[in-house]
A and B are shown apart, each in its own frame.
Chain A
Amino acid sequence: MTLPRYEEMWHRADDAWARAARPARTLIKVGVATCSRVVGAEETLSALRREVEARGLDADFMVTGCLGLCYVEPLVEVVRPNAPGVLYQSVTADKVASLLEAVAAGGIAREYALAVIGDRESGGLPALNSLEFVLGQVRRLMANCGVTDPENIDHYVARGGYEGLVRALQMKPVNVIDEVKKSGLWGRGGAAFSTGLKWEFLYNAKRQPKYLICNADEGDPGSFVNRNLMESDPQLLVEGMVIAGYATDAQQGYIYIRDEYPLPVERMELAVQQARERGLVGENILGSNFSFELEVVRGAGSYVCGDETGLLSSLEDRRGMPKIKPPFPAQAGVFAMPSNINNVESYTNVPLIMRHGADWWAEMGSEKHKGTKMFSLSGQVQRVGIVEVPLGTSTSDVVMRMGGGPPEGRKLKAVQPGGPLSGVIPASDVDIPLEPDPYRERGVLMGSGGLVILDDTNCIVDLCIYFEWFAEDESCGRCTTCFAGTRRMLEILRRISSGRGRLADLELIKLLGSIAQNANCFHGQGAPTAVMSMFRFFEDELLEHVERKRCPAKVCRGLVRYEVVHYSDRLPAAEAICPTDAVVRDNGKYRIDQLKCIKCDACREQVPYAIAVVDEFQPAAPTVTR
């Protein structure tokens, strides 16, 4: 197949990328993505522009995506001709002047320098790939993240983009499906179903038109891997969906992005438009007979729209209530026509499989589960960010080494692997490999990759209340077992945390947990998973709440009380900060008015020596009764 138009595009892209990869003069790269924008990356960028102009420096600028190192954003990379780029951490606008001072003098601004790009240390700085956070990662999906300009399709093309599509278009659709099946790629959204098999169902469906839908409604709180892919390398998703469209004989694709992600919506729309201008989306793609349209749809804030049939309902302009299966989407999906729904990460793996072949792709991963998987780390870890590791990597490697584990002096307590419906594993199991099977054995789902880490200052009952609240709040209201079951569960858990738990509650929770399995969609079925994990791994802590009315982590509001236990000169500060005037002074002595206290912890923050959190059942401090 001759593709003259593509050749021309290829050359143009190479030129564009050469300017960024081998700059003739200093190039300043600023990562602008959601994670860096919220800490002022845009202000940094404009301050850099101003400062460079004011100093008359000879430099160009480039906006990149996110490298995944959210904990040191905003990141600025300074690349000089013929030298590796130097990465500067936490460069807020106020640091720009002193940074450029050093750069203008031809040196390195040591106080902000984090690492040099690449594998080798240089100039006394460690290599980026040797940092604990990065070492051990295999960046395939994230190869372009933080490296290329996400708003420039040429950068993507020059780095091997759309080669996979060219190869796919030269194959028969069935062979493309076979290649994907051979790779062993399974859906990254949480269900872990074979992607190739799913595509085959759609390919075999007889009716037209067929629809291809990308589930970018990354609703799991604490997960942000899809967000990073869409805002740092949006073309990867476009290419993946076009290949999938060709393989399954679909002509229309929708990318459904949640409302909370404005930047990914913006960048995906731009990416689709740029791809359309170059004949990579639309009529007769790359001169072939294949046509495929792609549209970005913005959600409006609903967790169950992340369920595949809920998403379908939402696309049909209705409440996003999950549908009853069967019929499965491959038979009757959106607008009752054959459809296929995959997660962002599933689609973005496809260009890599098609570009390098299924064998190359399957080199990574464990025996049973191939490929790499992205994980976001949040909660009680020192380094919050996004990593990409081969499936089967040990959980502790990711949590304790890359993430740095809990803050100094605290102990790991549990890990929530992916979303509020996934459950938790205890610290004693943290060595298990990151792949679905070991998690399933423990009654937990690996989910979509949002690792949330708990340490010993966190209470498991408190966390379960959060999960049940979330499940209740986001229930679509169809199944009684879900909308009423989660509400009852929440009531019982709140009762336990308020100190009125009874032993009979435990059986009641288990009963509710088993009834929940009768819900229609996974939202209802998965709602009690975390509570069941609590029974399995943290029963002692739960019983402590119920029998002794004591919260070991001193979190549950109904089981603790704030008391003045020592004298301190700083007690007036506690009095001043209290939002409810609960720190009172009688005859020169301080005490806490328990009727006014809302237990917000502000006073203890001010005077940690004098004010303590005590168990509710402990007798009142002597000075209070006097």
Chain B
Amino acid sequence: MFSQASHNSRLTPVEPVAGSTELLARLSELIEDLSPDRVDLLKAFHRIQHEFGYVPREAVPLLAGKFRTTPAIIFGTIDFYSELRMAPAAETTVDWCSGPACLLKGSLNIRRALEATFECEMNRTSADGRFGLRLVQCDGTCHLAPLVRHHGRYIGPLTVSESIEWARRLTGDDRRAPPEDGARPAADEASPELAEPVEAE
């Protein structure tokens, strides 16, 4: 069978250089039965990502050798697909659905609230590395819109307040501590009814 990848077969693939022997052995084992002449590269990515949670850098030269192509092309392919990652995800990663049904029901508000609560931008990890937000595409579970996913569990339909409370529980912040600058005198705290009515326009 003709394979596009064999165009580059005359190029000598870069030898695997980095990585522990165990890791390389495991990677080779995972892709052992795959062949460049079949539609197998995506299968290789999926197997590796299933095992490690991401595609380790060390896999790139190995795959290039296996599929008779260059590391650059393998890297470019990984980079192209949004579901493939080259770094491990944060311990707690929240998937935020970007689909139109969620959008129309206010998912952008939820996004802003989550970004603020986790102190983490979309597709980034928080400074302490504990939380991550990931943008995902619509998979048609629009009856739950707007929704987020957390470890394969779908949570929706969410209001902004619910999403904040949920995120605070994840961060271990049940009720936010009052600001420390003394802006809130104790007496005021005890009797919120002291707050004067605000004149309407």
Contact = CB atoms under 8 A, between A and B. Distances in A.
Contacts of B138: 221-222, 260
B72 to A, nearest CB: 11
Nearest to A581: B179
A261 B159 contact: no
B98 A221 contact: yes
A605 B161 contact: yes
A466 B100 contact: yes
Interface stretch (A168-176, A196-204, A311-319, A504-512): A311-319
Point out which of A261, A378, A454 has the most chain B C-beta atoms below 10 A from its C-beta.
A378
Contact of B100 (A301, A379, A576, A585): A379
A309 B128 CA distance: 43
Contacts of B105: 379-380
A484 interface: no
A599 interface: yes
A564 B82 CA distance: 41
A288 to B, nearest CB: 24
A4 interface: no
A224 B69 CA distance: 36
B195 A379 contact: no
Contact of A598 (B112, B159, B195, B199): B112
Given A317-B39, A317-B42, A565-B198, A378 B142 contact: yes
Contacts of B195: 567, 571, 585, 588-590
Contacts of A453: 104
A453 to B, nearest CB: 8
Contact of B104 (A71, A463, A589, A610): A463
Interface residues of B, number: 71
B197 interface: yes
Interface residues of A, number: 85
A221 B143 CA distance: 13
Given A299-B42, A580-B116, A605 B141 contact: no
A384 B157 CA distance: 13
A505 to B, nearest CB: 22
A25 to B, nearest CB: 33
B45 interface: yes
A584 interface: yes
Contacts of B36: 317
B143 A337 contact: no
Given A318-B73, A579-B116, A602-B160, A39 B144 contact: yes
Point out which of B43, B105, B137, B194 has the most chain A C-beta atoms below 10 A from its C-beta.
B137
B26 to A, nearest CB: 21
B37 to A, nearest CB: 9
A314 to B, nearest CB: 7
A566 interface: yes
A571 B108 CA distance: 23
A372 interface: no
B103 interface: yes
Interface in A578-626: 579-581, 584-585, 588-590, 598-602, 605-606, 610, 621-623
A601 B109 contact: yes
Nearest to B103: A466
A416 interface: yes
B10 interface: no
A35 B98 contact: no
Contacts of B144: 38-39
Interface string B119-163: 000000000000000001111111111000000001000011100
Nearest to A304: B80
Contacts of A610: 198
B90 interface: no
A572 B46 contact: no
A580 B195 CA distance: 21
B182 interface: no
B192 interface: yes
A604 B183 CA distance: 23
A319 B116 contact: no
Contacts of B113: 579, 598, 600, 602
Contact of B137 (A35, A219, A585, A602): A219
B81 to A, nearest CB: 4
Interface in A156-210: 209
Interface in B1-59: 1-5, 36, 39-43, 45-46
Contact of A572 (B39, B99, B192): B192
11 contacts: A221-B101, A222-B140, A222-B142, A317-B3, A319-B76, A320-B81, A379-B100, A571-B195, A602-B161, A622-B199, A622-B201
* Those 7 A-B pairs whose CB atoms lie nearest each other, nearest first: A224-B140, A301-B83, A378-B142, A567-B197, A300-B81, A221-B138, A317-B41
Interface of A: 34-35, 38-39, 70-71, 73, 209, 218-219, 221-224, 227, 254, 259-261, 295, 297-303, 314-321, 335-337, 376, 378-380, 384-385, 416, 420, 452-455, 458, 462-463, 466, 470, 476, 557, 564-567, 569, 571-572, 576-577, 579-581, 584-585, 588-590, 598-602, 605-606, 610, 621-623
Given A297-B42, A317-B39, 10 more contacts: A219-B137, A301-B81, A335-B3, A376-B140, A376-B142, A379-B101, A384-B145, A476-B80, A571-B192, A599-B109
